[in-house]
Amino acid sequence: MTIMHSCKLLRCAMTAGSVAIVSVNGFAAGFALQENSGSGLGNAYAGGAAAAEDASTVWSNAAGMARLGSAQVAGALNLIQPSMKFRNANSQPAALQPLGNEGGNAGGLNVVPNLYVTMPIDKQWSVGVGVNAPFGLVTEYDDGWIGRFQGLKSEIKTINVNPAVSWKPADNLAIGLGANYQHIEATFTSNVNYSAALFAAAGCTGPNANPQTCGAIAQSAAGLQSDAKVTGTDYGWGWNAGVLVDLTPEHRIGVQYRSAIKYTVSGDVAFNNPAVPAFVEPLAMAVNNGLLYNSSITSQIKLPEIINVSYFGKLNAQWDLMADLQYTGWGSIQQLTFIRSNGSPLQTTEENFDDAWRFAVGANYRYKEQWMFRGGLAYDQSPVQDAYRTVRLPDADRTWLTVGAQYRFSPVLWLDVGAAYIWVRSASIDDIGSTNLGIPPNVPQNGRVNGSYDNNTVILSAQLTYAF
């Protein structure tokens, strides 16, 4: 891009004070984690609210504890390896910046543990507790990539502690209720178009621009970038309730509801601003002190409610059939706004999430007394609309194919393993960033990320269960 063309772009699209702030929209992608048990993966989590096969039912439907008959401890480890590769089509560089590379593979290995303990009190009452990670996200692009002004690294971690109780008022009916303490921690990084900030601070986007000064900035201070990092944490409370009904001794249905959880995420935004040529040091001081300064931030977010309706049926001595319908109320996330401690807005991102549905079917085959084999298939809708897809998590609809097995070392100790391959629909993207400091998203400050993503995910899980 020529200096003259860069100057024209800046004059047309930027005003004094316009600058790219870190894109903190990673909270608002389809980042729910299904991987909350090792035994369920082999069936693509079909029938989860009705199966009640082991202590992991604390998460899938607390009412299922009534079926276990003995105390249990179940621990699982899930390895999740997503692949997310951007293919450039018609991307555009930010003003005074090179275009950059395609970012490599933004996916990284994630390790998600689960732990569940259940115990019957008497014939009617059981209690349990689960510790898991219901939401999570890790994406990280190569340095210097095309979308570095929209996002570099996004990481979300949650821990959910879920004490629960089940009550069996009748032989064919069980009711479960639980409380959820959930902690969230997030980190987001990106680059900032520092050259454009200097250009705007010098008045080069206004009618009284000094051609000599603006030309010197465009020539000598091009390619400058700041590093931005947003971190935040909070905790919230929610609840869950479930019902399990035996239609016959061989067939049952389960329904579970998990409430939304509201957060006021509190943290900090920090900038690592670059060294500049001596002649623009006064402008740099104005940018650093007036725009790219460290401060505390807050943001309110409501993570979605989840409803599952499941069926489990024993067809004969060898075969089980299961099905599941899941609704996730992602529509609770429409817009994200981060506010500085002085009350001024840092960034607003339009998300416009849709509510999403997930459909799953699965089967078990009991080969011998010690061995059982599993299979499953699922279709998982994304809440992300094509027009609002971001680089933080380029989510799209996906299809799951899963297999698994169970081996019983004894009547009280068994191992479940599972594997999944997830095909993700090709995801188009046309992203020019977010609204920063009241300035609408534009190409000069952020560049344009235009192209598509090729995504897939591999999951491996193992769960050991001990009954006592």
In order, the DSSP letters of 312-331 are EEE-SSSEEEEEEEEEE-GG
Residue 207 burial class via C-beta count within 10 angstroms: exposed 0-12, middle 13-18, buried 19 and up:
exposed
pLDDT on residue 30: 66
pLDDT value of position 21: 42
Above 70 in pLDDT, residue 226? yes
Instruction: Using CB atoms within 10 Å of the CB of residue 426, give its burial: 0 to 12 exposed, 13 to 18 middle, 19+ buried.
Output: exposed
Overall average pLDDT of the 78-92 stretch: 96
Mean pLDDT confidence for 111-137: 95
| Overall CATH class of domain 3-467 | mainly beta
For residue 439, pLDDT beyond 60: yes
419 near 403, Cβ under 8 Å?
yes
Phi then psi for residue 26, to 5 deg, are: -70, -25
List pLDDT tens digits, range 315-345.
999 999 999 999 999 999 898 888 999 999 8
CA–CA distance, 425 with 201 (Å, rounded to integer): 43
Provide the pLDDT for residue 151: 92
Separation CA 158–CA 254 (nearest Å)? 26
Token pair of 279 as six digits: 């002649």
List CB contacts of 5: < 8 A, sequence separation 6 or more. Answer: none
Q: Which helix (H) or strand (E) holds 231?
A: strand 225-248
Q: How sure is the predictor about 156, in pLDDT bands with cuts at 50, 70 and 90?
A: confident
H or E stretch including 10?
helix 3-13
C-alpha closest to that of 433 among 446, 452, 416, 419: 446
**3-state secondary structure at position 220:** helix
Burial of 350 (0-12, 13-18, 19+ CB in 10 A): middle
Check: CB of residue 424 under 8 Å from CB of residue 85. no
Mean of the pLDDT values across residues 157-167?
97
Task: Work out the burial of residue 58: count CB atoms within 10 Å of its CB; fewer than 13 is exposed, 13-18 middle, 19 or more buried.
Answer: buried
User: What is the model's pLDDT at position 6?
Assistant: 38
DSSP 174-208: EEEEEEEEEEEEEEEEEEEEHHHHHHHHTTTTSTT
Q: Give the domain ranges of the chain.
A: 3-467
Identity at 162, one-letter amino acid code: N
Q: How confident is the model at residue 206 (pLDDT cuts 50, 70, 90)?
A: confident
Q: In this structure, how many other beta carbons lie within 10 angstroms of the beta carbon of residue 66? A: 24
Task: Specify the 3-state DSSP secondary structure of 167.
Answer: strand
Of the candidates 121, 195, 192, 113, the residue with the CA atom closest to the CA atom of residue 152: 192
Cβ-contact 137, 393 below 8 angstroms: yes
pLDDT in tens, 29-51: 368 899 999 999 999 999 999 99
Contacts of 239 (CB under 8 A, 6+ apart): 177, 178, 179, 180, 258, 259
Of 5-9, 187-191, 326-330, which range is least confident?
5-9
How confident is the prediction for the chain on average, in pLDDT? 91
pLDDT tens for 398-408 read 999 999 999 99
Q: Which residue has the tokens 């008497």?
A: 122
The 10s digit of each residue's pLDDT in 356-400 is 999 999 999 999 889 999 999 999 999 999 999 999 889 999 999
Which H or E element spans position 289?
A: helix 281-290
Greatest pairwise CA separation for the chain in angstroms: 86
* Span of 190-194, 293-297, 396-400, 433-437 with lowest mean pLDDT: 433-437
* SS3 category, 345: strand
Q: Residue 13: is its pLDDT beyond 80?
A: no
Q: Taking a C-beta distance cutoff of 8 angstroms, is the pair 116, 52 a contact?
A: no
pLDDT score at 94: 96
pLDDT for res 1: 40
Question: Is pLDDT at 154 greater than 60 in this prediction?
Answer: yes
393 versus 191: which is more confidently predicted?
191
Sign of CA dihedral 190, 191, 197, 199: negative
